[in-house]
Amino acid sequence: MEKKQKYDTDKLYDVIVIGGGPAGLTAALYLARAKYRVLVLEKEQFGGQITITHEVVNYPGIGRTSGKKLTETIQRQADAFGAEFLLAAVKSLDLNGDVKTVGTDKGDYYCLGILLATGAHPRTVGFKGEEEHKGRGVAYCATCDGEFFTGKEVFVVGGGFAAAEESVFLTKFAKHVTILIREDDFTCAAAVAEPARKHEKITILTNTVVEEVSGDGGLDSIRYQNTVTGKITEYRAEDGETFGVFVFAGYAPATDLINGVVKLNEQGYIITDSEQRTNIEGVYAAGDVCIKPLRQVVTATGDGALAATELEKYVAAVQRRTGISAKSPVAKGYESVMSELHEEASEEPGELFSSEMKAQLRSVFEKMQQNVILKLYLDERLVSRELENYMQTLASLSDKLTVEVEDSHASSEIAPCVKICLGDKAETGLAFHGVPGGHEFTSFVLGIYNAAGPGQAIDEESRKLIESIRQPTDIKVLVSLSCTMCPDTVVAAQQIAAKNPNVRAEVYDLQHFEGLKKRHNVMSVPCILINDSTVSFGKKNISQILELIGR
């Protein structure tokens, strides 16, 4: 039996799906429902790129939803049939033989078949000044960063689906939006482009490329050229004003892991046949990482369903031939999950937490090894009353949580703020300034769990590096509650602070701290400040934050 003595049977799966976007989640749903043991590995966040889309109106059978809610529902359906999920970065692949090995930063896992559903990430354009002004005028996510450009001019670079749709979304904040399209027209469907064409706050310039952006702190100048006439235009903001540039220039496939192993085309997309098979036996691919004429959620879910059914056939054949078989999945009950979803849709308006959320929170709090005091610092603003109500409601779910108001007239530089302290009133170094709702709710709960123990597992190398920090270190993570990329950075910073008393990790919702935003010229989130000097933008994991601390 090939590799029979070389793997842990508890870590043997029929199929491992690499990538937790719509394609990967759909494949997991189909495979688990067919009684195959499946593990979905995702290095960032389950749901993929669609989670940053605030409104989805073209998914068949669903009138209107958000990308996040849609993919959360698919994941819960897969979970109900017994699919397993793990946040882990894949580091290596051994695709030889019947039993394949997937090496991750959380250990090795084994499987008979693999689905590559790693998706794609936003492309940069390469104009002068793009790299230098990332986070300070140049942005790539309208949902995350749009609010930072309220009342300002905004330029959108691109002419595809994202450029058309997100330009309309940006008009909610921007004074005016100018779309700069390289081609002679939009490259997306006419119906998608039509709202942008008709919008009174949008100007469209075709055959236009950006040459350079510049500014001191924020952007105050952009130069672009008409490629047909050769005319160069330079826009300069009025004295003291700044503007934003949002780049929606398509996506680059996330194929670094399998480059040179699985066949790719010249653009780096995976080559598959009509059944989603790659050139490697037992390895399939689905979603935006593949060559395809249309990259939409509906085509990704279709790819995932097809790949799953083909993998079912492949795995069954390997099982018959080798006698190797993974454990059966443990189904949680599809009907109960659907009932929960229905209950959530029927929740009374004004309820902070759904019935399912309350059950999950109680389960987390029961595991805590120490009691926690949520210490509040409030001012006269309504947001402080909101924070107090939020924390009181949270604390009502467990006798391990109590709320204390430390200062009801705190400075607006601090308040509203909740500090996580242990039962002996010792500060953990973890704090949230604002109200930890939206995308930051889960990260706040994990902060409590990591501070009170036992906390999330962490690899030995990272643990040693964290413990080696001897100097007082202040980490500020500046976020927006609408940002889907912020929570992972917040959790990583909090894990470091929870394991070393020399480190503080404080999170600020920039909506309520305009002075902090202006002081550091922050126009994109997440933004990390180390000791108020080192500034870095973009999502970070534990090792990347430790690298910033060590500079």
Question: Rounded to whole angstroms, what are the CA distances from 372 to 160, 394, 421, 432, 498?
Answer: 49, 12, 6, 15, 13
Pairing, β 232-236 against β 120-122: unpaired
CA triple 288-166-544, angle to 5 deg: 60
104, 457 Cβ separation under 8 angstroms: no
**Which of 226, 251, 255 is CA-nearest to residue 161?**
251
Question: Rounded to whole angstroms, what are the CA distances from 502 to 382, 402, 414, 454?
Answer: 33, 25, 20, 19
Residues 6+ apart with CB under 8 A from 302: none
Which parts of 300-413 are beta strand (E)?
Answer: 372-377, 401-407
Question: Of these residues, 141, 290, 483, 486, which one is catalytic?
Answer: 141
How far is 494 from 430, CA to CA, in rounded Å? 6
**Which of 74, 69, 91, 59 is CA-nearest to residue 24?**
74
290 tagged catalytic? no
421 tagged catalytic? no
- HSE-CB for 52 with a 13 A CA cutoff: 23
Which parts of 117-192 are beta strand (E)?
Answer: 120-122, 138-139, 153-157, 176-180
428, 421 Cβ separation under 8 angstroms: yes
Report residue 529 as tokens.
């400040």
Which parts of 55-197 are beta strand (E)?
Answer: 84-87, 90-94, 100-104, 107-116, 120-122, 138-139, 153-157, 176-180
Report residue 546 as tokens.
């430790």
Pairing, β 12-18 against β 534-537: unpaired
141 tagged catalytic? yes
How far is 12 from 364, CA to CA, in rounded Å? 27
Question: Of these residues, 145, 220, 379, 509, which one is catalytic?
Answer: 145
Residue 532, classified by CB atoms within 10 Å of its CB into exposed (0-12), middle (13-18) or buried (19+), is: exposed
Element (H, E) at 475: strand 473-479
How far is 61 from 152, CA to CA, in rounded Å? 37
- HSE-CB for 396 with a 13 A CA cutoff: 9
Question: Of these residues, 144, 421, 486, 527, which one is catalytic?
Answer: 144
Which residues carry out catalysis? 141, 144-145
